[in-house]
Amino acid sequence: MKRVQEKQTKRRRRKLHVRKNISGTAERPRLSVYRSNKHMYVQAIDDTSNSTIAAASTMESEFSGLRVNVENAKKIGTAIGERLKEKKVETVVFDRNGFTYWGVIRSLADGAREAGLKF
């Protein structure tokens, strides 16, 4: 139990360290990613107006039944990329939320890049 708490504490520290330096605007929103064992969530946030521009997650009906793995993360990434393209957003700031840029998080970013987003 103590090891799980240490991992969570370290992730929160990494998150705060990164969030000091990045923020999103309407032209270049912050693409925030969160993953749990069962689901994955990604949203584009405009920090100046404190609003969400677009979002995608495995909780949606079109992605229901998807597990959190590399292939499905790429699908979520392309979905958020297409939704942002519809809103005429081409560049984003990637906020990995303290998670390591490996595996699922990297695959999601690659999927968003394939949809046409620039980081």
Nearest to 42 by CA among 59, 20, 26: 59
Task: State the pTM of this model.
Answer: 0.89
* Residues 46/25, Cβ–Cβ less than 8 Å: yes
Give the rounded percent of residues in the chain with a pLDDT score beyond 70: 100
> How much is the average pLDDT of 81-95?
96
Residue 35: its H or E element: strand 30-35
Q: Which domains does the chain have, with CATH numbers?
A: 2-114 (3.30.420.100)
Residue 1: which pLDDT band, with cuts at 50, 70 and 90? confident
pLDDT of 118 over the 90 cut: yes
Q: How confident is the model at residue 61 (pLDDT cuts 50, 70, 90)?
A: very high
Q: Per-residue pLDDT averaged across 90-119, rounded?
A: 95
Beta bridge partners of 45: 30, 52
The type of residue at 70 is V
Q: How many of the other CB atoms lie within 10 Å of CB of 47?
A: 16
